[in-house]
Copies of this chain bind each other. A is one copy, B any other.
């Protein structure tokens, strides 16, 4: 009897066989690896690692993590943890509500790789499906908020509010510094605003809209919540909008989409910006996330809006096509002082929310809203009529309008506590507003049984139906606040209300898009690796997904244990002392981490240390984040060989002296090499009193082989959606936790409502609305590490580097690999320089990208970090067979370029410039191309069996072509301040 699995010390025939690393990256000793090593002319993987990575940077010890466990065991463990969390009916509200994810959406979007694995839709022609859905999201937000332009999407409500504030600040050119915040916004929104305001020098003025002296302040804007934190939908919204605008500020309103289906929407009151969270449109609570925040503006503000915006354009055949319209974002982010760094957002959840609206339609949403309101009204009436509470504060004195939330005030803390406990005894969490006030927020999942339990808990003897009969439903909302305008009138919201129709609609959309379920997506810097099913399973377990972020900590021991263990895993991998799991994207991590460095300097009385050195090869989010944390960006040059110019660094350090705050550096560099000078660079900065922020986007090249702390990093964010297998979701969700060394721990983000273990005194405040923001996707990364274990993770890194070197070596004869080290080796990704070919033939990087679609492939990262190039990152999760197909496609394209070089065809007539080829084009009777239909559609023999037809022809979008990395523009736009 043969034992086929790998053996190690103490291994036994009894060991489990469903081990994971071989499913993630294959076996280290197989024929494929041997064949790749042969091409690279090395004897072993170790030899290649030695040639790629400077010896002095290598970790001296294996990762201090247990060996990986089997898929079955890891799943059993995580299910046991999830089962420890108590799934209650959480009527805490505060922006997070129970909701029903229609099963057909749960299974066919949330749990479907066709939707969760694709990348941000930069390659428009093979991303039409999810862009159509995101346009639905935008339309829905626009309709419900009553404003003409909406994006898709922002991260969460708190950061959306902060983005709005920053946008208003910048619209006021930073001259006015006061920002009004109504005291009845969510407390977490206020706290996130306060964090964000500080480094920008904004003064937050908290007040009551009815008494605040608008004229007496120099306001650039203000924010008001409607319905507010007390549940009141207040007629004062008009006053707020008018008064704010009268002082030349932007009027920002945070709202609730469901409420907007029955209440007159903020846009109709003249608000400039309306934002909020679309969570209750079918997106599970997830202990805080992920959910898609929404953001809508008046027309004239469209170009200043942060976040991703999908637009309609035309393709090469003149037919309508969707595309990411980057213009507006570029405009705001490229400025010297960027006001937003948002990159990865919440596309998957925006799609869920949009599909929820498509499924329910306008009448359905109104029904849901009306029922939710009826519950609240019945509860209020029941308690008021008959309860023991002294006052039920639910109505605006003037309008008497409220929506889903009822606050109940008691005579004594003891009485309040008794009611809260009685609710808890019925497995219902209510909100503890203060020691004599409880809040109850009703939602779609509430039933008559909810009321039947709550009414007695609050001392009422009325039955739900009797209470409902006593409620003055018709008076609420009063005419003044009642929505009269139509919404969701587009056909898409009115056609797909049966499950078959919705299923088919989703299926049609997904078939237009390339995701990892189709083929490899070797996007440099994006690490499109396997998102394994076993990693995804925890996300939708009730114990993970159905938990309110402000649930009492004693209800969530499973989450506590998992988060603690996960933090320990990340510390073991990176060497840091602690991690904050709050930042909800890489860019959010950058901002939080740099801000922590700022806070550190400040705490030491060195507020002047505000210069941040950033190599000019850096990702666009880096300088933007620096600007947001109040730092001044100074670029360091990169040498001709792609290394950070240490001399230039030394000069800049010397020049800025005492003002040096931080170095921000990506490792291995965005040029795809392990630079030898990293330790020296970090040491120089520290010597001069600065701290080192390492951008962890490329951690997939480090894990197990080196540690950021050994290299000199003080802070680092991990893009969990790159290195740690959270799927990209078509543009999010992601998570960007930050690790810090000891003396920076006190500055990690806190939370105003939940004890997340930080020191609120020294902490920088929250950078997101929920304590661990998108908590429900953290188990994905946790599972990955648990499944892979020390050896598996290390092997994965080795294989990622092997794969990049293999692809580079096979392409090298025909293409120029831009940067490599002295041994000719690259890291886990590499840049192919197309500029010589462009010069010779006119073929641009975009032509290569579009032509790849005809082969069934997604392009590499385009023109970043070097314009006119493509950056290839195969990751460890691809087989040689798949990489060979990709290579063969690029080589076939190279020979098409050669045809142009040789004058056999002109660039305009070539299949490159005319790519991609749709079925419409290739099947048209008319064919007057200079190449055959077969060459157009099936340029290599195996393409026939795998043919993926781009849905539209080349999209007309010069902007898009130029900035295909994470919607964030190249660093070079910042290389100015210091020259």
Contact = CB atoms under 8 A, between A and B. Distances in A.
Interface string A346-378: 000000000000000001101111110111001
A553 interface: no
A373 B447 CA distance: 53
A177 interface: no
Given A4-B366, A367-B4, A504 B533 contact: no
A50 interface: no
A508 B946 contact: yes
A473 interface: yes
Interface stretch (A8-16, A37-45, A245-253): A8-16
A906 interface: no
Contact of A100 (B71, B103, B932): B71
Interface stretch (A421-429, A493-501, A886-894): A493-501
B103 A113 contact: no
A150 B362 CA distance: 54
A453 interface: no
Nearest to A511: B511
A445 B499 contact: no
Nearest to A107: B533
Interface in A6-54: 12-18, 22-26
A742 to B, nearest CB: 38
A554 interface: no
A835 interface: no
Interface string A477-513: 0000000000000000001011111011001100100
A934 interface: yes
A4 to B, nearest CB: 4
A502 B798 CA distance: 23
B946 A919 contact: no
Given A17-B444, A508-B946, 19 more contacts: A4-B363, A4-B364, A12-B448, A12-B465, A14-B371, A18-B100, A75-B103, A103-B532, A103-B537, A107-B533, A112-B112, A499-B533, A501-B879, A504-B519, A507-B517, A508-B945, A919-B937, A919-B949, A925-B934
A3 interface: yes
A1 B472 CA distance: 11
A504 B518 CA distance: 6
A499 B1 contact: no
A232 interface: no
Nearest to A114: B507
Contacts of A504: 517-519
Contacts of A445: 72
A375 B23 CA distance: 24
A925 B933 contact: yes
Contacts of A2: 363, 366-367, 370
Closest 9 CB pairs of A and B: A103-B533, A13-B374, A4-B367, A1-B370, A4-B363, A507-B517, A23-B499, A104-B533, A14-B448
A500 B473 contact: no
Given A103-B534, A533-B499, A924 B919 contact: no
Nearest to A262: B1
Interface string A367-402: 111110111001000000000000000000000000
A2 B516 CA distance: 44
B370 A13 contact: yes
B371 A13 contact: yes
Contacts of A447: 14, 16, 73
Contacts of A561: none
Contacts of A536: 107
A260 interface: no
Contact of A518 (B100, B507, B923, B937): B507
B13 A500 contact: no
Interface in A213-250: none
Nearest to A529: B500
Contacts of A978: none
A316 interface: no
16 contacts: A1-B369, A1-B374, A2-B363, A4-B366, A13-B371, A15-B448, A17-B368, A17-B444, A24-B499, A71-B103, A113-B503, A114-B507, A498-B879, A500-B530, A507-B518, A925-B932
Given A17-B364, A103-B534, A923 B922 contact: yes
A106 interface: yes
A265 interface: no
A451 interface: yes
